[in-house]
Chain A
C-alpha cells in the first residue's frame, strides 16, 4: 500500500513507516509565531530554562497589530524584541515586513517536504509550496521552543480532484469558497487536504496559497499542492536551504476523493456568520455595504491587487463605502506600486494601509460599528470578527470586492469583465 504525502513527511521525521491515525513525536524544521510571541514567551518563562533549544528554527514576524496601536501592543512588541536579542533568534521580522504567512514564504522558509509548525491557524498556507504545515497553540509553541519536539497525529487525507477551466472573473477564492460551502466547516477536521487533479497545475502559486490558506476553514490540519515546476520556479532565489520534494504515491489510501469541476463554478460569496455559508454572488447581489477590504494573507498579493485594479481602473468607488487595501507584504506592496495598480486604486478612492493583518481580526484599522456590513477578501467572517458583534462580514474574491466597492452594494464582477 502506498503512502500519502503527510504519511511520508511525518514518517521520515519519526524515523519509521507510519500510517494515518498513529501518534508520532517529531522535531519540526521551523516554528512560526507572530505578535502572540509575547504570550508564548510568558509560557516559556514558566518552564524555568534559560535558552530555547534551537534558536535557528524559530521564526517570528510581527504582523497582527502593526505598528502598535496602543501602549499595550507597544509593550507586547517590545518584550518580543528583547527576547529575540536575549535568545539570539536569527529569524526576526519587525513590523515593516508584512503578514507572517507571506513573509515566511517569500523568505524561503516554506519549502517542499519541510515540517512547519505555526502558532497561527492559517499555517496550512505553506502547503502551496509542498510543505507539511500545521497550526498549534501557544503552550505548545513554548514547549517546542524548549524541547524541539511535539506529538502529532498522522492525518488521513482528503484528495480534491479539480478538473476543467476557470470561467472569466472566477478565481481560486471562488473555488475554495465553493468547496468549503459544499463540504462544510468541519469536513477536513484533523485531516490533510491535497489539491490535485488536472486543473491543479493551472493555478499560479499565489492562487494555490489562497486555497491552502483557506483549507483551515474546512478544519484541515494541513493543505497541499504537488510542488511542480511553477512552485520550483517561484522558490528559485528564495529557498534558504536544500529541500526534497515529497509526493503521494499513486496507490496511496485516501479518506475520500472529491470531484470538483471548476468550469461550472461562478463567483461565490460566504455570507455572515460562517465561512461555509456560501452562495453564488447572484443570490445576494445588491446588499448594501459600508466597507470593503482588499488584502490580507488570503488575497493581498500583487496578483490579487491586480484583479481588483482592473475593475477599479478609471472609476470611483461608491461615496458611501470605505475601501481599504492591505498588501500582504512589503514586497507585494512594491510590486503593486511599481506596476501602477496602487496608483489606480488610490485614484479610485481606496485607502492603502500598511502591510499587516489590519482589521481582519478586529484589532485596529477599520473596525465595524453595529449594523455595518463589510465585504472582504479575508478568510473569516465570524460574528464580531471585525468589530461589533452586530456587524456583518461577507467574503469574496478581490474582483467581487472591487465591483462591490464601486456599486456600494454586493456586485457581480462578471459585469465588469
Chain B
C-alpha cells in the first residue's frame, strides 16, 4: 500500500463539518462534493488534499447526520482511509458502503502527527510510520468483500446478478 500524508483532527468530528447540510441537495456530483470536504472544519483541506492522503482523528468520527456524502466527499477527494479511535455507527457503515476503508486504532491516533507519511496494510491490519508499527484488528471478510467490490452498490449488483444466473441454471 502506498504511503499517504496524514491530515490530523480531534474528537467528535461531525458530518455537518465534513459535508455541510446546505450542500446535501444541491451538490450531487462526487467530484464537486470533494471540493467541500471538511469545509467547516478545515477549509485548507479540500484545496491541498492529494490522492492517497489519510485522515487521522480521535473518537466518534462522523457523528451526527446520516448523510452519506460525508464518506463520498472524502473518498472522491482521494482519501485512502480514515484512521480514528472510534467511528459513529452510521458513518462507519456509509464509509464501507462507499468503498472508503475505516481503521480503528487508538494507539496509532495518539502517536501519529499531522503531515507524517504513513502506510496501511488493510488485510494484515498494520499501520507503518517512519519509526513505528501499529497493529489493528482487520475488518471481517464479509465487510472486506464490500470494500473490495468498491462499495455496497457494486457489491449488491454483483450479488443480484449471481442470483439471476443461479436462477437461470435451475430453470
Residues of chain A having any CB pair with chain B under 8 Å? 23, 35-36, 38-39, 42-43, 46-49, 64-65, 70, 72-73, 76, 119-121, 135-140, 142-143, 146-147, 151, 185-186, 189-190, 219, 221, 274, 276, 361-363, 367, 380, 382-385, 387, 389
Known: A137-B94, A139-B151, A146-B156. A362 touches B20 (CB 8 A): yes
Q: Which residues of A contact B88 (CB under 8 A)?
A: 186, 189, 219
Q: Tell me if B64 and A121 are in contact (CB < 8 A).
A: yes
For residue B63, which residue of chain A has the nearest CB?
A185
- Bitwise, B63-75 to A at CB < 8 A (1) or not (0) is 1111110010000
Q: Tell me if B93 and A136 are in contact (CB < 8 A).
A: yes
Q: Which of B1-9, B10-18, B45-53, B108-116 contacts A (4 or more CB under 8 A)?
A: B10-18
Q: Which listed residue (A140, A190, A382) contacts B64, Cβ 8 A?
A: A382
Given contacts A186-B88, A190-B89, 11 further A-B contacts (CB under 8 A): A36-B25, A47-B153, A64-B24, A121-B90, A139-B94, A146-B156, A185-B63, A186-B86, A382-B14, A384-B21, A389-B40
Bound-complex Cα distance A219 to B71 (A):
18
- A302: shortest Cβ distance to chain B, in Å? 27
Q: Tell me if B65 and A361 are in contact (CB < 8 A).
A: yes
Q: Which residues of A contact B21 (CB under 8 A)?
A: 361-363, 384-385
- B151: shortest Cβ distance to chain A, in Å? 6
- Interface assignment of B160: CB less than 8 Å from any CB of chain A: yes
- Interface assignment of B119: CB less than 8 Å from any CB of chain A: no
Q: Which residues of B contact A363 (CB under 8 A)?
A: 21-22, 24-25
Q: Which listed residue (A76, A120, A385) contacts B25, Cβ 8 A?
A: A76
Known: A65-B25, A136-B66. A43 touches B153 (CB 8 A): yes
Q: Which listed residue (B28, B89, B98, B160) contacts A219, Cβ 8 A?
A: B89
Q: Tell me if B16 and A380 are in contact (CB < 8 A).
A: yes
Bound-complex Cα distance A203 to B64 (A):
26
For residue A363, which residue of chain B has the nearest CB?
B22
Q: Which residues of B contact A219 (CB under 8 A)?
A: 60, 63, 88-89
What are 17 residue pairs bridging A and B, where the CB atoms are less than 8 Å apart in the complex?
Answer: A46-B153, A47-B156, A65-B25, A121-B65, A137-B71, A139-B152, A140-B94, A140-B97, A143-B152, A189-B63, A274-B14, A361-B21, A361-B65, A382-B14, A384-B16, A384-B40, A385-B16
- Interface assignment of B157: CB less than 8 Å from any CB of chain A: yes
Q: Which listed residue (A47, A72, A186) contacts B12, Cβ 8 A?
A: A186
Known: A137-B94, A219-B63, A363-B21. A143 touches B153 (CB 8 A): yes
Residues of chain B having any CB pair with chain A under 8 Å? 12, 14, 16-17, 20-22, 24-26, 28, 39-41, 59-60, 63-68, 71, 86, 88-90, 93-94, 97-98, 142, 151-153, 156-157, 159-160
Q: Tell me if B68 and A139 are in contact (CB < 8 A).
A: yes
Bound-complex Cα distance A120 to B63 (A):
13
Bound-complex Cα distance A214 to B57 (A):
24
Q: Which residues of A contact B26 (CB under 8 A)?
A: 70, 72-73
- B18: shortest Cβ distance to chain A, in Å? 10
Total A-B pairs in contact (CB under 8 Å)? 128
- B167: shortest Cβ distance to chain A, in Å? 13
Q: Which residues of A contact B153 (CB under 8 A)?
A: 43, 46-47, 139, 142-143
- A366: shortest Cβ distance to chain B, in Å? 13
- B129: shortest Cβ distance to chain A, in Å? 26
Bound-complex Cα distance A274 to B45 (A):
22
- B54: shortest Cβ distance to chain A, in Å? 22
Q: Tell me if B12 and A383 are in contact (CB < 8 A).
A: no
Bound-complex Cα distance A120 to B153 (A):
19
For residue B71, which residue of chain A has the nearest CB?
A137
Q: Tell me if B16 and A383 are in contact (CB < 8 A).
A: yes
Bound-complex Cα distance A149 to B23 (A):
30
Q: Which listed residue (A49, A139, A186) contacts B98, Cβ 8 A?
A: A139
Q: Which residues of A contact B16 (CB under 8 A)?
A: 380, 382-385
Q: Which residues of B contact A35 (CB under 8 A)?
A: 25
- A105: shortest Cβ distance to chain B, in Å? 18
Q: Tell me if B157 and A46 are in contact (CB < 8 A).
A: yes
Sorted from nearest, which 9 A-B pairs have the closest CB atoms? A186-B60, A361-B21, A137-B94, A384-B40, A382-B16, A121-B66, A139-B97, A137-B68, A389-B40
- B150: shortest Cβ distance to chain A, in Å? 11
Q: Tell me if B152 and A274 are in contact (CB < 8 A).
A: no
Q: Which listed residue (A151, A185, A186) contacts B142, Cβ 8 A?
A: A151
Bound-complex Cα distance A387 to B40 (A):
11
Q: Tell me if A189 and B86 are in contact (CB < 8 A).
A: yes
Known: A47-B160, A185-B12, A186-B12. A140 touches B93 (CB 8 A): yes
Q: Which residues of B contact A73 (CB under 8 A)?
A: 25-26
Bound-complex Cα distance A65 to B98 (A):
25
Q: Which residues of A contact B24 (CB under 8 A)?
A: 36, 64, 361, 363
Bound-complex Cα distance A136 to B92 (A):
10
Q: Which residues of B contact A48 (CB under 8 A)?
A: 157
Q: Tell me if A140 and B12 are in contact (CB < 8 A).
A: no
